[in-house]
Amino acid sequence: MTKRYPLALVLITIAALCTYAADFSDYSRLGNQQVAQFMPTETRSIIDLSGSWQRMSDGVPLETVFIPGSISTSKPVVLRRTIRIEQSVLGDHTWHLQLLGVVDEIELRVNGRFIMRYPGGLVPFSIRIPDRVLVVGTNSIELVVSPTSELTALVESFGRSSRARSMGLLREVFLVGTPHVWTNDVRVRTTFSGSTGSVNVKATIMGGTVERLLGAQLGGDALTQGKATVSVEAMLRLRDGGQVVTRSGATSVTIERSRQQNVQFHLSIANPRRWSVASPELYDLVIRIERNGELIDVYETPLGFRTISVT
């Protein structure tokens, strides 16, 4: 067997060594440029919550722990971080907690109020913080991390080369303030027809406290839904120079508070630069939201044209 499958044995050995050697201490935190790739900051407020958190017990700090990081325990852990938000920043944004990776179940409390519980799974997810939960001045953010059930942990341990279990927040945590109307998600599909490249775009536009865009004060009825009409435009520009090569034109969208609208665009470009490993040509797809000529939100994501053929 060794003579017939030498390469397979080498690959298996390397994989086993890599799995054994994998350790969270090898993780390097994301830099500002890396964060900017998936969190556009031109119209958004990004507060990095990485660093020192307090591990709590019955409301009393026990020790300081560092996030992102792992915690050696099999019991629920309460982590608290205190931040300060100024009035000028608080009222201009809708707020979210963005977590890039938690293994176990997590519960979010803001200023002592329960917000949401999420199963974890070490996948990125976002939790929207309801309006008027955050206040001007000092705010406390608590994350209750609970271990996966014993049955789930047992099943995972049966997997070949199963990882050692670690509790805690293993990736970065951000408090993100978006405008009250913002682009929440973008789906893109590129095609070719001769020398013309086409981009089909589906943008999800979300509404937060849209009354503030209208200059209206929040009423006492929490069920009152505000509405605002905005214009949404998609454009494609060269990454290396910023030149806009094609744009969709503005589309009028009426968005309601705590609702979403899907907007579709079609962009065409003649003789697009094609992406390849040897020449990774990229464009920036930009989604702009305006109201009465005033910029509200800008969302950017890299885009490349490529074809795959099998011969």
The 3-class SS string of 248-282 reads: CCCEEEEEECCCEEEEEEEEEEECCCEECCCCECC
The conformational region for residue 166 under phi > 0 = left, psi -120 to 50 = alpha, else beta, is beta
Q: What is the mean pLDDT of residues 235-255?
A: 92
Domain extent listing, the chain: 31-178, 181-217+224-303
Predicted confidence (pLDDT) at residue 268 exceeds the cutoff of 80: yes
What's domain 181-217+224-303's architecture?
A: Sandwich (2.60)
**Cβ-count burial 169-182 (b if 16+ within 10 Å, e if not):** bbbbbbbbbbbbbb
Please report the sign of the dihedral spanned by the C-alpha atoms of residue 57, residue 63, residue 67, residue 72. Answer: negative
Residues contacting 217, CB < 8 A, separation 6+: 211
> Mean pLDDT over all residues of the chain?
82
Q: What is the mean pLDDT of residues 9-26?
A: 44
Please report the sign of the dihedral spanned by the C-alpha atoms of residue 8, residue 12, residue 15, residue 21. Answer: negative
What distance in Å separates the CA atoms of residue 114 and residue 119, rounded to the nearest whole number? 15
pLDDT at 157: 60
**Tens of pLDDT, residues 28-66:** 777 777 777 777 678 999 999 999 999 988 888 889 999
**Tens of pLDDT, residues 83-97:** 999 998 998 999 999
Q: Which CATH number fits domain 31-178: 2.40.50.140, 3.40.50.300, 1.20.1250.20, 2.60.120.260?
A: 2.60.120.260
pLDDT at 7: 46
pLDDT at 163: 59
Predicted confidence (pLDDT) at residue 171 exceeds the cutoff of 80: yes
**Tens of pLDDT, residues 194-220:** 889 999 999 999 999 888 887 754 444
pTM: 0.78
**Tens of pLDDT, residues 106-154:** 999 999 999 999 887 778 889 999 989 999 999 999 999 987 765 556 5
Same fold: 31-178 with 181-217+224-303: no
Joined together, the tokens standing for residue 258 give 């705590």
pLDDT at 264: 97
pLDDT at 61: 87
Hey, is 54 helix, strand or coil? strand
Q: What is the mean pLDDT of residues 256-266?
A: 93
pLDDT at 25: 52
- Could you tell me the CA-to-CA distances from 88 to 45, 281, 295 in Å, in that order? 12, 40, 17
The β-bridge partners of 164 are none
